[in-house]
Amino acid sequence: MISYFVRRFLLIVPTFLGITLITFIILQVVPGGPLEMELMKLRGMGAPGGEVGPTGTGTSGAINIPESALEEMKRFYGFDLPIHERYIRWLGNLLSFDLGRSYVYAEPVWDVITQRFPVSIYFGLIGFILSYAICVPLGVMKAVKNGSVFDFTSSVIVFAGYAMPGFAFGAIMLVLFGGGSFWDVFPLGGFRSDDFEYLSFSQQILDQLYHTVLPVAAYLTGSFATLTILTKNSVIENLSQDYVKTAFAKGISEKKVIFKHALRNSLIPIATGLGHFLSLVLAGSFLIEKVFNIDGMGLLGFNSIIQRDYPTVMGILVISSFLMLIGNIISDMLYAVIDPRIRFK
Amino acid sequence: MSTILEVIDLETQFKTDDKFVKAVDKISFTLNRGETLGIVGESGSGKSVSVFSIMRLIPDPPGKITGGKIFYDSKDSGRVDLLSITEKQMLHYRGNEISMIFQEPMTSLNPVFRCGEQVVEAIELHQKVSHQEAKERTLNLFNEVKLPNPERIFQAYPHQLSGGQKQRVMIAMAMSCNPHILIADEPTTALDVTVQATILDLMRQLRDEIGMSIIFITHDLGVIGEIADKVAVMYKGKIVEQGTTLDIFSNPQHPYTKSLLACRPPLGIRLKKLPVISDFMNEDENGNMVEVNASVEQVVNSVIVSEKETQDRRNALMNNAPRLRVKNLKTYFPSTKNFFGKVLDWVRAVDDVSFDVYPGETLGLVGESGCGKTTLGRTILRLVDATDGEVIYKDKDIFSFKGDDLKEMRKNMQIIFQDPYSSLNPRLTIGSAILEPMKIHGIYSNDRERKDKVFELLEKVNMEPSHFNRYPHEFSGGQRQRICIARALAVNPEFIICDESVSALDVSVQAQVLNLLIKLREELHLTYIFISHDLSVVKFMSDRMVVMNQGVIEEMGPADEIYNNPQKEYTKKLIEAIPKGDIETISERAKRRAKLLEEV
């Protein structure tokens, strides 16, 4: 089995090259690149989607750009080289852990991305833990009480959440609890209050939680259904297995049969998703972040694409695909750990 | 001899589609200390439901125990009615004083816990011992149930053991708290005949040593003859006959009991067809039983085949040129590979096997699980690739077929699998399942004609045309196997491989399916290769028999000759393992047991 995982790790290299190569080419070939955007700005036509542009607009009249300046700009963006050389150069920098500088933020891409890690990890982790902590027990309850009123009502709620987009749910909650015409319970948005640094430690915790409730609720609404129903079906299936009969015949109480014997087997298909907790550092949803005014990974990703901030786009891609590939392998390993019947060859 | 369990008028019902069905209908029996009671009956006769009722393990809903009393004479707390105590009190008896083993050793152990820990759990649940003591007890138990290398088995997960080993672990678990009653629900049905013999042997030995009582459930009266002191015969939820094993075997009263005795393939003689239930009893329009007044001997004697007839048939068959020739066939599977996927070692599933099959003949292929008989069958049909050798069908090399030739071969050669539950697509009606192969091979010009043919086939396998639009789950195992036969026949094949086709069926149903296969062979001039682990079934079905072991042929020859005069130790072992059910052995065993029981 070790040789299987060694092979899997080795296969990361070609997969990774494939992902980056294809994205790199698509990004650079599509029209409307950073150079064109810059020129448009200079010519005073205003940049599309320029609301978040870092450089001020307002230059009036058309300006003729001298050839030498154009060359200079091309060199700045690296467009003076053919595309394969550009890729190889980018790859070479990557090997020395240099993701380049962001065109928009004029900072190293690594710094731009890592600045947003805390926000992503915070929301990602809370969402991840909460969804497992709620869905697994809920699924077990639903399985044990299959067909009951409780089972039916919880299904209705869970599926309603599944059907509703998270940002829409977030918006509704803001209307209800954000201090508009109804109740003033939670803040309208932001990650923390502006005066966060001046608060005492316990106040800081409260303030953080106060800002967390609504966005996390919005993140979670859609994720309940799959996990809950998966758990439920898995438990029901396992409760009808022969070994459960054996456990009952041993004289074990019903509770222990369910939680010791049936649940462990039911968790096998669920636990395999755990490998992807690594990707949490990049978790984020553009729409939800927009609704709650949080400066997270979702917004960054969206804006970098709109503003043709190639180094940042590629930086996010590199990190996320790498974590995804590792996460897949971890999932497989977990699978082998939890289920002794699994042997990879 | 004191009574340990007394069941009085037990009634258990199941709710199906708003009506209640009595799965167990007012049954009464007693079990004495140290005694073994066999409960015998076909699937659905209510035998498992009765013992699950005793354990109070009937799933509610849909099931419910609706009447009766079950008095259990506990050593500590005296006589209790198991049906009137609380669930919490019941936990004390379950697995402790009354324990149970099940039919499917493959699935009865929890796949994610080590075998040893599962037994330790049972010990710790009922006894005040330390984990270390429980572990030592488990290792001792593994020794007692004759598991090789108990330390290794303790650490092993269930999937790493064979079926027989798993059943031994289950027995160790059931024995772990020195139960007063052991309930065994078809404990040997899923096992090979040879493994069944060793498990029965073990149970007899443990019982005689410890003096516990056993309720042994099976569909096979032959197995009852091997282990039980007395028998209760169940049919449609009722006990129709009770008595000592010797009485039941030597003087059966109820026609159903007679049919169970007669439907086992006999060993000393050759029959045209096996006696079935309808030879002994029928139902009139009102569903009442009508007894056909016949004894077991009368029915058996009416279908007996003389030695000369057997000889003549074989001579006639061998006069033709062989239909199928298998020459030096080898099928190997990779067992270990190195880092780059190069095969380092092989499993030799079929290793240099040669034989001929003549038109109209049934060639029997017998051997234990893992001997390579299934792989051999599949290699012949090109469902598995051969490593080397030739298979010649009607003078043509099967391995050279491509395109249309291959399609033609697929039409001519069919296979019927072991498990009728998984070999039918649950989402296809049985009509379309039978129709599909005709469509693939372009038999008949339109679906109208094909449908008529399906009706004809359904009648041929004793099913109703009205079954056309129904789904597999609506049928019993025997009916499903008949559907599989109809599907195989749909393309008018000449040659059929029956791969353990009756091993998953009750003996009474097995007899019906075997008779059907023989009838079809004569009517449609079919040639069979009949594969099974049970030498008695293979001997009944085949003209000639091949005994296979570890990928090679041990011996080959006319079926009766091999049975009467086996040349190899392996063949003798297979014959030895068959439950014979002969009166002398049973009466001798009964005498010995009577003495033992007096001491209890």
* pLDDT tens digits for range A271-301: 777 777 777 767 677 777 888 878 888 888 8
Higher pLDDT, A1 or B565: B565
Question: With contacts defined as CB-CB under 8 Å, which chain A residues touch B339?
Answer: 3, 6-7
pLDDT band for position A59 (50/70/90)?
very low
Q: Which residues does B535 contact at the CB level (< 8 Å), separation at least 6?
A: B193, B366, B563, B571, B574, B575, B577, B578
Nearest CA in chain A to B87: A253
CB < 8 Å from A in window 33-62 of B:
55, 57
Contact B112 A338 (CB under 8 A): yes
Question: Measured between CA atoms, how close is A2 to chain B, in angstroms?
Answer: 10
pLDDT at A60 over 80: no
Across the interface, do B102 and A246 touch by the CB < 8 Å criterion?
yes
The answer to whether residue B339 neighbours chain A at the CB level (below 8 Å) is: yes
B137-167 tens-digit pLDDT:
899 888 888 888 888 889 989 888 888 888 8
Please report the pLDDT score of residue B31 as a whole number. 92
Residue A22 predicted with pLDDT over 70:
yes
The ipTM (two decimal places) reads 0.79
Q: Does the pLDDT at position A57 exceed 60?
A: no
pLDDT for B353 = 93
Contact list, A338 vs chain B (CB under 8 Å)? 112
Say which residues have a Cβ less than 8 Å from residue B145's Cβ, sequence separation at least 6.
B168, B169, B171, B172, B175, B202, B206
Dihedral through CA B222, CA B223, CA B227, CA B229, nearest 10? -50
Mean pLDDT, residues B103-107: 82
B93 inside 8 A of chain A by CB? yes
Q: Give the side-chain half-sphere CA count within 13 A for B422.
A: 4
* B107–A251 C-beta distance less than 8 A: no
The residues with which B94 forms a beta bridge, in sequence order, are B98
For the segment B7-28, the average pLDDT, to the nearest whole number, is: 87
Separation of alpha carbons A43 and B359, rounded Å: 92
Cβ contact (<8 Å) for B102 and A7? no
pLDDT at position A50 is: 44
Q: Report cis status (omega within 30 of 0) of the bond before B111.
A: no
Mean pLDDT of chain B: 88
Residue B38 is predicted with a pLDDT of 93
Q: Which parts of B127-212 fold into alpha helices (H)?
A: 131-144, 150-155, 163-175, 193-210
Q: Report how far residue A261's alpha carbon sits from residue A255's, in angstroms, rounded to the nearest whole number.
A: 10
Query: Given a cut of 70, is residue A49 above it in pLDDT?
Result: no
Least confident of A11-25, A203-217, B218-232: A203-217
Best of B54, B108, B114, B170 to disrupt the A interface (most A CBs within 10 Å) is B108
Cβ-based contacts of A249 with chain B (< 8 Å) = 55, 57, 94-95, 99-100, 102
Give the whole-angstrom CA distance, residue B379 versus residue B499: 12
CA distance B110 to chain A (A): 5
Comparing CB atoms, the residue among B99, B111, B339 nearest residue A249 is B99
Lowest pLDDT segment from A1-10, A13-22, A225-234: A1-10
pLDDT band for A47, please (50, 70, 90 cuts): very low
Q: Which residues of A touch B159 (CB under 8 A)?
A: 340-341
- Per-residue pLDDT tens digits for B514-527: 998 999 899 889 99
Q: What is the distance between the alpha carbons of residues A320 and A294, in angstroms, rounded to a whole number?
A: 20
Contact between A176 and A157 under an 8 Å Cβ cutoff? The reply is no
B111 and A253: CB-CB below 8 Å?
no
Chain B contacts in chain A segment 318-337 (CB below 8 A): none
Confidence (pLDDT) at B217: 92
- Does position A148 have pLDDT exceeding 90, yes or no? no
Does B187 sit behind a cis peptide bond, omega within 30 degrees of 0 on the bond before it?
no
B138, B113 Cβ separation under 8 angstroms: no
Query: Touching check for B251 and chain A: CB below 8 Å?
Result: no
CA angle B165, B171, B176 (to 5 degrees): 125
- Average pLDDT on B208-234 reads 90
Gap between the Cα atoms of B202 and B144, Å rounded: 9
B333, B346 in Cβ contact below 8 A? yes
Residue A55 has pLDDT above 50, yes or no: no
Render pLDDT for B382-438 as a digit per residue (tens, 0 to 9): 999 999 999 999 888 999 988 888 988 898 999 998 888 788 898 899 999 999 999
Report residue B600's pLDDT band, with 50, 70 and 90 as the boundaries: low
By the CB < 8 Å criterion, does B112 face chain A?
yes
Q: Mean pLDDT lowest for which of A175-189, A263-277, B287-301, B319-333?
A: A175-189
More confident residue, B59 or B573: B573
User: How confident is the model at residue B366, as a pLDDT?
Assistant: 92
Average pLDDT for A92-110? 84
Q: C-alpha distances in angstroms, B388 versus B352, B354, B371, B380, B552?
A: 8, 12, 18, 12, 14
Q: How confident is the model at residue B444 (pLDDT cuts 50, 70, 90)?
A: confident
Which residue in the block uniquely carries the two structure tokens 């799965």? B23
A242-250 vs B163-175: helix crossing angle, rounded to 10: 20
Tens-place pLDDT, residues B251-302: 888 989 998 988 888 888 888 888 888 888 888 887 777 888 778 888 888 8
Whether the CB of A147 is below 8 Å from some CB of chain B: the reply is no
Chain B residues with beta carbon closer than 8 angstroms to that of A340: 111-112, 157, 159
Instruction: Say if CB A279 and CB A296 are below 8 A apart.
Output: no
| Contact yes or no for B538/B366 (Cβ under 8 A) | yes
3-state secondary structure of B600: coil
- pLDDT tens per residue across span A71-100: 777 777 777 777 888 888 888 888 888 888
Average pLDDT estimate for A152-179: 86
d(CA A271, CA A326): 16
Identify from A243, A344, A345 which residue to disrupt to test chain B contact, counting B C-beta atoms within 10 A and taking the largest count: A243
Q: What is the pLDDT of residue B538?
A: 93
What contacts B219, CB < 8 A, 6 or more positions away? B40, B41, B42, B43, B186, B189, B506, B507, B508
Of the candidates B100, B107, B112, which has its C-beta nearest A340's C-beta?
A: B112
Contact A340 B157 (CB under 8 A): yes
A341 touches chain B (CB under 8 A): yes
Q: For residue B91, list chain A residues with Cβ-Cβ distance below 8 A.
A: 251-253
Cα–Cα distance, A208 to A203 (Å, whole number): 8
| Contact yes or no for B99 and A345 at CB 8 A | no
Task: Give the closest residue to A168 by CA, choosing from A129, A228, A222, A123.
Answer: A222
- Phi and psi torsions of B530, nearest 5°: -110, 115
Answer yes or no: do A249 and B339 touch at CB < 8 A: no
Residues with Cβ within 8 Å of A95's Cβ and at least 6 positions away in sequence, in order, are: none
Contact A242 B111 (CB under 8 A): no
CA distance, residue A318 to nearest chain B CA (Å): 29
Name the residue facing B94 among A6, A249, A261 (closest C-beta): A249
Best probe of the A interface among B86, B93, B112, by most A CBs < 10 A, is: B112
Up-side HSE of residue B525: CA atoms within 13 Å toward CB?
6
Residue B233 vs residue A48, higher pLDDT:
B233
Quick one: pLDDT at residue B6?
92
| % of chain B residues with pLDDT over 90 | 29
- pLDDT bin (cut points 50, 70, 90) of residue A54 is very low
pTM, entire model = 0.79
Residue A340, Cα to own-chain centre: how many angstroms?
31
**Is residue A4 classed exposed, middle or buried when 0-12, 13-18 and 19+ CB atoms within 10 A define those classes?**
middle
How far apart are the C-alpha atoms of A179 and B471, rounded to whole Å?
59
Tell me, yes or no, if A76 comes closer than 8 A to chain B by beta carbon: no
Condensed to tens digits (0 to 9), the pLDDT of residues B66-104 reads 888 999 988 777 888 988 888 888 888 888 889 998 888
Q: What is the pLDDT of residue A63?
A: 60
Q: How far is B333 from chain A (nearest CA, A)?
A: 15
Q: Do A247 and B110 make contact, defined as CB atoms within 8 angstroms? A: yes
Helices (H), A78-146: 83-95, 109-115, 117-144
- The answer to whether B485 touches B475, Cβ cutoff 8 Å, is no
